[in-house]
Structure 1
Amino acid sequence: MKIKYDVNEPYFFLANQFYKHKNHILVFEAVKLLREKGIFIKLVCSGKLEDYRNPDYIEQVKTYVIDNNLQNDIKMLGIIPREDQLCLMKNCLAVIQPSKFEGWSTVIEDAKTLQMPILASTFGVHKEQLEDKGLYFDEDSSQSLATLLEGYLNGSVKRPLPFDNYEQRVAKFARLFIDLYK
């Protein structure tokens, strides 16, 4: 995967469609803030490079990257095969999930199954999915994410405990589901 996608350094992974509410710009702003402090991180993004609700959004995203000279820091892969996405996720430093809203985050579920650390926005569904096992930032503050990323890299942010493995989570869900009908 490293050769296929030209990913040669440790990286954070953001696996969302490029829809405005998925909040990519906030993450890019955080990368810029860190760069201004002399902290250089790599961010690899996968997902459809268009937003049918906001047709100009992807151009705004690309322009932001170019205008802020972040082309070497941020890699936007577009849609990639599912197996590649999971492989990139499994080998990243941490998964970033910055969404402002969604019904349920499959990215978080994938990352949990792969036992990957997750930096997520404080949006309620993320807290429901991650509970005390996520690292959180304000979805409206790139500074909040930049601070979290810096702490994650320098070790000052305490890493959460691992997630239950997939089989344990399925068994727990089954027990809770059965208990509903008792």
Structure 2
Amino acid sequence: MFEYVRSKKCLNIGVLADGFITWGGGVDLIKSIIRSLESIQNECNISIYLLVPSGVGYQTRRKLSILRASFIYSSKNTNFTALKKVAFKMLSPDQTCGLFDKSKNVNLVAYKYSNKCLLETAHRLNIDVIIPSIKNLGINFDIPWVGYIPDLQHLHLKDNFTDKERDSRDQVFQDMLFSANVVVVNSQFVKEDLERNYETDAVEIIALPFSPNPESVWLECGSEVSESWACNGNKYFIISNQFWMHKSHITAFKSLNLLLQEGSRNIHIVCTGSPDEYRDAGYYDSVQREVRNMGMSKNIHFLGHLDKLEQIGFIKRSVALIQPTLFEGGPGGGSVYDALSIGAYVIVSDITVNMEIEGERVIFFKSNSSEDLANKMRDLLEKETVVVDKQKLIHDGYQQAEKLGKKVMRAAYQALKYQ
């Protein structure tokens, strides 16, 4: 078991935002890592620097890389409109920094986008180690760094990727495993996946624990946040996923249809999340068409991408969050993490990675089974809900943050050891 001790010398940790700030799950991961480091900051004697790429160079390179990928990896179903939305709605440096809560414990530093400028900035700040890096910084980067690999979806859901895209991901991940001495992943499932499919003898792979801990403001926001949608006292479940094919929204919709056929009319599903699926331009329309064909347009509500606090408000008021996903890199994905951190119930598919989820309010259903999911939904509808005490959520969240912080520090110390 890893033990850490307070260092006589203050250790400067650089948390690298590059590659994470262009998608909601990435921002949430960086925020969670920062909260985890803050929870052990005094005990470990560390200073935290959030390194955020900025400048015209960053915006331009990100746009070009996304558009380049759209042509290299495209298939006949590729949604070019969705890809261009991602490319041309990049955040400005001020907007990027605004994604993160200002904290007296964290130094937010913008650097001009290049490995050279990152290295110069890190040296100027006397950064001892950088974690995590979704980008391969290379074997010649002279400050210890910890790599990050999200998942191997391309090996499990091959039909969602072109041959070129699968080959490219294989090469990128293997190069990362060759270049980094330490790599962190979101689950034991991904760790074992990497060890089965790649050469990993020269790298230490550390699985971060499932550790839901809320932002403090989440526990303050109340039900008024979601009053913009007229629930009229009806009960609803919520799905907070982007409309990617592997998220399997249809499984939940079919489950609701089964419940409605039993005579319960005042049950709803609220869907939040972007409708853009770049791999299939017609996917979102096909989902909505199936909802209409089942006659459930009045019971299923598509709200699109919401502000984070509004999304949290909806989760708080729901009967439960449903996660019907067929694949994840981290247990349950971000929405399950968020829901459990605020004391909500979750009903989640029993795929392998999701079995790493721990919590008193977790209910598993057989993956892809609308019948089993309907049974679990019915059980919760009949159950008297007890609100979790706010102080317990704060206490549990802090313990979870500490657990994650210790594992992050283990990765950081291991990277330093190889220097």
Q: Where does 1:159-178 land on structure 2 (aligned, <5 Å)?
A: 165-175=396-406
Which structure is higher in RCO with an 8 Å CA cutoff and minimum separation 6?
1
Structure-1-length-normalised TM-score: 0.87
What is the one-letter code of the residue matched to 2:311?
Q
Tell me which structure has the larger Cα radius of gyration: 2
SS in 2 for 1:38: coil
**Unaligned segments of structure 2, at least 5 residues:** 1-224, 385-391, 415-419
In the TM superposition, 1:106-125 aligns within 5 A as 106-125=334-353
Name the structure 2 match of 1:6. 230
- Alignment partner of 1:77: what SS? strand
- 2:363 corresponds in structure 1 to 135
SS in 1 for 2:357: helix
Q: Distance in 1 between matches of 2:226 and 2:361?
A: 28
- CA–CA separation in structure 2 for the residues paired with 1:166 and 1:99: 25
Further displaced range: 47-56 or 14-23: 47-56
The superposition leaves residues 78-100 of structure 1 with CA deviations (integer Å, 9 ceiling, x where unpaired) of 11111111111122111111110
Alpha-carbon distance in structure 2 between the residues aligned to 1:131 and 1:176: 19
Q: Percent identity over the alignment?
A: 28
CA distance in 1, matches of 2:408, 2:305: 35
Bigger Cα displacement from structure 2, 171-180 vs 97-106: 171-180
Give the deviation of 1:173 after TM superposition. Answer: 2.8
Q: How does 1:142-157 map to 2 (within 5 A)?
A: 142-155=370-383
Correspondence list, 1:16-165, <5 A: 16-40=241-265, 41-104=267-330, 105-130=333-358, 133-155=361-383, 165=396
Which amino acid counterpart does residue 263 of structure 2 have in structure 1? Answer: G
Correspondence 1:15 to 2:240? yes
- Tell me the amino acid that sits aligned with residue 325 of structure 2: S
Q: Could you say what secondary structure the match of 2:405 adopts?
A: helix
Q: What is the aligned length? A: 177
What's the CA shift string for 1:113-161, capped at 9, x where partnerless? 11111100001222212366510111211101011111111239xxxxx
DSSP-derived class of the 2:270 partner: strand
> Is the contact made by 1:117 and 1:134 (CA closer than 8 Å) also made in structure 2?
yes
